[in-house]
Structure 1
Amino acid sequence: MKATGVIIARFQTPYLHDGHKYLLDEIRSKHNKVVVVLGVSPVKGSRRNPFDFYTRERLLKQYAPELMVLPLSDHPSDETWSKQLDTLLQNTFPQESFILYGSRDCFIPYYSGHLQVVALPEFGEYSATAIRNENSDKVLDTTDFRMGVNYAYQNTYSKVYPTVDIAVLKDNDTQLLLGKKSNSPQWRFPGGFADPTDADYEAAARRELQEECGDIEVSAMQYVGSAKIDDWRYRSEEDKIITMFFKTQWVFGQAQANDDLKELAWFPVRELSSMMQQGTIAKEHHVLVNLLLKNLNIL
């Protein structure tokens, strides 16, 4: 019985490049039955894996309608993934034999299953990452393009954006540093979004504090609590902000407003409650003021 040709790939591009077509045509010329197994990322919608299984299946079948396309979830264990691949093929097509094909940056070094494997020579210098990057800002004036944008956003998980806010205290916790943005008259805690390059939330808090308050020396960050922030930008969105709130002690240095802040000033901690009542502290930060006052045993 002639073996079924199996291509193991991701095809994470908006179109099939010549390297893809060479791979597909080469296997189709060797086998009457061709199966494509598409890797499926556990992350739903990302820069590295922007196209879901259904989109890539359509792409392949548009080029060659006779292809059988199957999904296979990524797995942290290469050994387990290899067993799942063998099981998928053998259960879907009982009594058939298979030859697995790969090419550039393929699965072969990670595969430990029992099926025959063949590595095809590379065809050209094609990079799916480069293609995605080159086309990342291309806007097309078509309904299909706009429908694709809508599809992508409607099929991603609702997100929580992690931020950090910092209460800088001095004089035995009697004075608090607050900042003011250029587009808002109310005072607020310095802080901002955590960054993927931050080692942890404490590091994010130190970075944000330095960016917004200048080169001041403070003590170690102490966790106060966390809270959902009623940020006006996300008020009508499904995505929300949840912040990690820290306190720290000012050691030395002159605070200077930078980045998102246009002004910094010290305020008596005992006046925070009245400042909230007077509306001089940003409403979305009232929850943080209450966390701080409770932490300092003032409430």
Structure 2
Amino acid sequence: MKTTGVIIARFQTPVLHEGHFNLINYVRERHNKVVIVLGVSSVKGSTKNPLDFYTRERMVKKEFPEIVVLPLADCRDDATWSTNLDGMLSITFNNEKCILYGSRDSFIPYYSGKNEVKEIPQTSDFSGTSLRDQICDKVMDSEDFRCGVIYAYYNRYPSVYATLDIALFKDDNSKILLGRRNSEGKWRLPGGFSDPTDNDYESAALRELHEECGPVEVDAMQYEKSFKVNDWRYKQETDKIITLMFSCNYMYGEIEGADDLDEVQWIQLNKITAMIENNEIVDEHFPQLQFLVNKYCKVLSSK
């Protein structure tokens, strides 16, 4: 029985490079029927997998119109992925015998299916990652380039950006630290965006506190509540911000406005409501501060 050559790859590059051509031609020389299976990431649009299946399929078809190109979704479990691959090939090609091909650092160590596997000798050293790095900040003056940017943004999942707000208390929760930017003139809680390098939101909140208020010593961060933020930058956008508010108690250390804050000041918690009414607080922090007033002022009045 004649066999079908199946290439398992990703081809996450703007063009097929020499390594891709070597791989495809190697298999074409050995099989009349060639199939390319392109891995599809569960993350929609990323630096690792920026191109969707349709874009890569057209790239391959432009150079090799006769080759069948199929998508295969990534899986958490390698055994499940292997079963899915075998099942797709068996159903699509009516139980034809397939030989799977991959190059160095390919799918081969993760595959546990029933088909024969062959590793193609590496004839040159091409890296999709290095190629993407070379062009990631290159701006091109063409309609196709601009269309591509628009296509990319329209075909990503809407994002929720996580931010942190920190309520730093002292004097038995009767005073709270607020900051102010000179360009804004209104008071706000210290805080900012979480970062992929943060281990958790508690450590992210502490990092933001130190960045904006100095290396102050506080006790453990306590989660208070989350809020969808009506941030002016995202009012007309599909993407939105949800902030997580943490509270902690001041222990010691010099406090000084830094980073995004030009000034910090201790404010009596029972004055916050009047400051909101007098428009002295940024709109985005109304809900957080009103929540803190309702929670902690009641506790203070009951003592």
For 1:35 and 1:294, locate their aligned partners in 2 and report how far apart those are by CA, in whole Å: 64
Residue equivalent to 1:76: 76
Q: Secondary structure at the match of 1:30?
A: coil
For 2:92 and 2:185, locate their aligned partners in 1 and report how far apart those are by CA, in whole Å: 64
For 2:241 and 2:138, locate their aligned partners in 1 and report how far apart those are by CA, in whole Å: 29
How far off its partner does 1:104 sit? 2.1
What is the one-letter code of the residue matched to 1:220?
A: A
Contact 1:37 1:70 in 2 (8 A): yes
For 1:155 and 1:11, locate their aligned partners in 2 and report how far apart those are by CA, in whole Å: 19
Residue equivalent to 2:50: 50
What is the one-letter code of the residue matched to 1:273?
A: T
What is the one-letter code of the residue matched to 1:137?
A: D
Contact 1:224 1:295 in 2 (8 A): no
Residue equivalent to 1:211: 211
How far off its partner does 1:149 sit? 0.5
How far off its partner does 1:297 sit? 4.7
Contact 1:164 1:194 in 2 (8 A): yes
Residue equivalent to 1:236: 236
For 1:2 and 1:273, locate their aligned partners in 2 and report how far apart those are by CA, in whole Å: 80
For 1:23 and 1:254, locate their aligned partners in 2 and report how far apart those are by CA, in whole Å: 62
What is the one-letter code of the residue matched to 1:286?
A: F
Residue equivalent to 2:90: 90
Matches within 5 A, 1:238-277: 238-277=238-277
Residue equivalent to 2:160: 160
How far off its partner does 1:295 sit? 2.5
Residue equivalent to 1:18: 18
Q: With structure 1 as the length reference, what TM-score do the two structures score?
A: 0.98
Q: Secondary structure at the match of 2:29?
A: helix
Residue equivalent to 1:137: 137
Contact 1:4 1:33 in 2 (8 A): yes
For 1:53 and 1:20, locate their aligned partners in 2 and report how far apart those are by CA, in whole Å: 16
What is the one-letter code of the residue matched to 2:119?
A: A
Backbone CA RMSD of aligned residues: 1.0
Contact 1:213 1:257 in 2 (8 A): yes
For 2:243 and 2:141, locate their aligned partners in 1 and report how far apart those are by CA, in whole Å: 39
Q: Secondary structure at the match of 2:262?
A: strand
Residue equivalent to 2:287: 287
For 1:178 and 1:185, locate their aligned partners in 2 and report how far apart those are by CA, in whole Å: 12
Contact 2:89 2:95 in 1 (8 A): no
Describe the shift of the 1:166–1:28 C-alpha distance in structure 2 as closer, same or farther (beyond 3 A). same
Residue equivalent to 1:227: 227
Residue equivalent to 2:60: 60
Q: With structure 2 as the length reference, what TM-score do the two structures score?
A: 0.97
What is the one-letter code of the residue matched to 2:252?
A: F
What is the one-letter code of the residue matched to 2:246?
A: F
For 2:95 and 2:188, locate their aligned partners in 1 and report how far apart those are by CA, in whole Å: 68
For 1:16 and 1:295, locate their aligned partners in 2 and report how far apart those are by CA, in whole Å: 60
For 1:264 and 1:297, locate their aligned partners in 2 and report how far apart those are by CA, in whole Å: 21
For 1:95 and 1:176, locate their aligned partners in 2 and report how far apart those are by CA, in whole Å: 70
Contact 1:182 1:260 in 2 (8 A): no
Matches within 5 A, 1:3-14: 3-14=3-14
Count of residue pairs brought into register by the alignment:
299
How far off its partner does 1:52 sit? 0.3
Q: Where does the alignment leave 5 or more consecutive residues of structure 1 unmatched?
A: none
For 2:39 and 2:76, locate their aligned partners in 1 and report how far apart those are by CA, in whole Å: 13
Matched, 1:101 2:101: yes
Q: Where does the alignment leave 5 or more consecutive residues of structure 2 unmatched?
A: none
Q: Secondary structure at the match of 2:195?
A: coil
Contact 2:215 2:255 in 1 (8 A): yes
What is the one-letter code of the residue matched to 1:165?
A: D
What is the one-letter code of the residue matched to 1:159?
A: S
Residue equivalent to 1:298: 298
For 2:113 and 2:97, locate their aligned partners in 1 and report how far apart those are by CA, in whole Å: 13
What is the one-letter code of the residue matched to 1:103?
A: S
